[in-house]
Amino acid sequence: MKAGFIAVVGRPNVGKSTLINKLVSEKVAIVSDKAGTTRDNIKGILNFKDNQYIFIDTPGIHKPQHLLGEYMTNIAVKILKDVDIILFLIDASKPIGTGDMFVMDRINENAKKKPKILLVNKVDLISDEQKEEKLKEIEEKLGEFNKIIFASGMYSFGISKLLEALDPYLEEGVKYYPDDMYTDMSTYRIITEIVREKILLKTRDEIPHSVAVEIINVERKEGKKDKFDINIYVERDSQKGIIIGKDGKMLKEIGVEARKEIEELLGEKIYLGLWVKVKDDWRKRKPFLKELGYVEEK
């Protein structure tokens, strides 16, 4: 038995959450094409061939523009010091840019001596010739790694090579979680993330970045469906109108899709009540961010 904690890091929207969901064969992290989808460090636990791999999905590391962004980057950088292995993701289909090099600088500042594996994700989008060009670009812009792996989180290509590369750096004789556990995230947190994902998938522009979700009440009565009341927070009245939609159509669609997935998670039918509230500039307000669990206590 061997086990280890692996920080999955990279700039926003390189496929970290998709990769972790594929690795553990469960949906532990919500996925969308919007940068900043992941806001917390989320553990995905894989038990494979007597080894336990604890992958930590992190928010995309970037230069923050508000207090929420600062929190997201800080927790992603902080985890670099606490894990056994750094798994750095880049997008095979895009040039290595300042965002990737910003992440590399944070790794070198906080985890220079830790084993570093580079996963070149979305390899299905490039040719063999482009792979060779990418290797040269990696050497020039990012430096050396213990291992470089070309993979596709979307299609599970390269997963076995990744696990082989991680294996030598796991700690022997330990096991941190039971075999049937695939995440340490609470059920209530998963429920709020499901609702937020449906909003991300159905809205555009500033809406996805301006949304927060909170369970405000859970009502349980014997012989009846459990009822979950959830607040959706936005920063502007115009954003509230977009999420509610004409005659409430958008909010109803979000609710129907979220409820179905929550029922699959819980294994039972529920009532889901969604309410849209305006909190001006909530991403810049520390007390409200604390309420939502987004600001760490020092």
Residues 160 and 224 in one domain: no
Same domain, 229 and 137: no
pLDDT band for position 205 (50/70/90)?
A: confident
- In this prediction, residue 76 carries a pLDDT of 87
Query: How many Å apart are CA 219 and CA 225, to the nearest integer?
Result: 9
pLDDT tens-digit series, residues 28-80: 988 888 877 888 889 999 999 889 999 999 888 888 888 998 898 888 888 99
295 assigned binding-site residue: no
Task: Answer yes or no: is pLDDT of 240 > 60.
Answer: yes
Q: For residue 114, is it within any domain?
A: yes
Residue 164 shares a structural domain with residue 193: no
Q: Check the annotation: does 121 bind a ligand.
A: yes
Nearest to residue 211, comparing CAs of 243, 179, 186?
243
Residue 179 lies in a domain: no
Residue 182 lies in a domain: no
**24 and 102 co-located in one domain:** yes
Please say which residue of 138, 172, 206 terminates a domain.
172
Number of independent structural domains in the chain: 2
pLDDT of 295 strictly over 70: no
- pLDDT for res 24: 92
The 3-state secondary structure of 179-209 reads: CCCCCCCCHHHHHHHHHHHHHHHHCCCCCHH
What is the DSSP pairing of strand 2-9 with strand 85-91? Answer: parallel
Same domain flag for 115 and 138: yes
Q: Is 15 annotated as a binding-site member? A: yes
> Which pLDDT belongs to residue 297?
52
Output the six-digit token pair for 59: 């928010």
122 is in an annotated binding site: yes
Looking up residue 31, the CATH number of its domain turns out to be 3.40.50.300
- 17 annotated binding-site participant: yes
279/265 Cα distance (integer angstroms): 30
Would residue 242 count as lying in a domain?
yes
In a domain, 181, yes or no: no
CB 21 within 8 A of CB 37: no
At a CB cut-off of 8 Å and minimum separation 6, what does 252 contact?
245
Asked whether residue 119 falls in the same domain as residue 9, the answer is yes
Same domain, 12 and 152: yes
- pLDDT for residue 102: 92
pLDDT tens digits, residue range 90-117?
A: 999 999 999 999 999 999 999 989 999 9
The annotation status of 223 as a binding-site residue, yes or no, is no
> Domain for residue 200, yes or no?
yes
| 133 and 21 in a common domain | yes
CATH number at residue 251: 3.30.300.20
Beta strand pairing status for 2-9 and 51-57? parallel
Ligand-binding annotation for 13, yes or no, is: yes
Residues 157 and 228 in one domain: no
User: Per the annotation, does 57 bind a ligand?
Assistant: yes
Q: Say whether 14 counts as a known binding-site residue.
A: yes
Residue 87 bridge partners (DSSP):
8, 117
The rounded mean pLDDT for the chain is 92
Q: Is 211 annotated as a binding residue?
A: no
Q: Are residues 118 and 228 in the same domain?
A: no
Model pLDDT for residues 270-281, shown as the tens digit of each residue: 999 999 999 999
Residue 89 and residue 8 in contact, taking contact as beta carbons nearer than 8 Å: yes
Whether 160 and 29 map to the same domain: the answer is yes
How does residue 296 score in pLDDT terms, banded at 50, 70 and 90?
low
Residue 124 annotated as part of some ligand binding site: yes
pTM (2 d.p.) = 0.89
**Domain encompassing residue 69:** 2-172
The answer to the question of whether 234 is labelled as a binding residue is no
Is residue 252, in this structure, part of any structural domain at all?
yes
Q: For the segment 252-267, what is each residue's pLDDT rounded down to a tens digit?
A: 999 999 999 999 999 9
Q: Is the dihedral of CA 197, 199, 204, 205 positive or negative?
A: negative
The verdict on residue 298 lying in a domain is no
60 is in an annotated binding site: yes
On whether 10 is known to bind a ligand per the annotation, the reply is: yes
Say whether both 221 and 80 belong to one domain.
no
